[in-house]
Structure 1
C-alpha cells in the first residue's frame, strides 16, 4: 500500500492503492439521458474525496456529458460514486487509464474522504487491511480477462 499526496494541488487527500481496488463501473447518463446498460469491472488506482483514477479495457472519451457510476467496498463500507472523465491516456499497449472528477453533493465528497482517511489510519496501524476487493494478480492479465469476457457477452449483430 502506498500512501502520499499526488504532486498536483488537490482539494482532497488522494490515496494511491497498490494493489488496486476492484469496482463496478456503469455509464448512467449521456448528454443528460439515462441509460440502462450493464457494468464493467475496473481497477481503481487512487481515490480521494474529489475523484479517482482507474484502469479499464474500455475506450471512452473525456467528456463531462458522460456520467459514470462506480460501486465498490473499502473496509467493508460500500461506496457509490458518480463522476465524469477529465483525462484519458493509453495504459500499456491496449488499455486505458482515466482520471475522474466526482459530480456529487459536498456531503458525499466528505463521506468518501472520511472512509479513505479511516482506511489510511487502519492501514498504518495494521498492515492486514486488504481484502477480497483488491486485485491479487497482474493488472494487465486482469484487463485482458475483462476484455475477453466482454467480447463473449456482446450480442452478435
Structure 2
C-alpha cells in the first residue's frame, strides 16, 4: 500500500500539479485515510484519489521549473547572491554591504517590487512557464499585472 500511496502523491504534484493545485491536499487526505484504515477498506479512498487524478486537468510546469533550475545549477557556475538580499541582521553586516538598498516588498503596491534576487549570471533566467489551463493562466495574468504595475 505504501508504494501506491507514494505514487498517488507524486502524480498529484508531477502530473496534475498547478492545473488543479488542491489535488495534492485531497490525495494526501485520501492517502492518510487509507493508511489509517488499512485494507480492505483502504481501497475506497485510494480509488477516490485515483479517479480524481485521472479526471483532473494536467500540468507538469512545477516539475519542469524545478528540473530547469536544478539543471542550470549543474551546468552553470553560480555566482554569489546579490548583497542587498543577504542576511543583514548581525553586527558588521552593513560594513560588508549586506542588506543595503534592499526593498521590502510589503512596503510597496501589491506587496511587490522589482529587484534582483538571483546572481548576476542567471538574473534573467526564467524557470516557471505557465501552461494553458485555467489556474496557470490566472497566475500568468497576475504576474503580468505585477510587472506592469511596477
TM-score normalised by the chain length of structure 1: 0.26
Flag the structure with higher strand content. Answer: 1
Larger Rg: 2
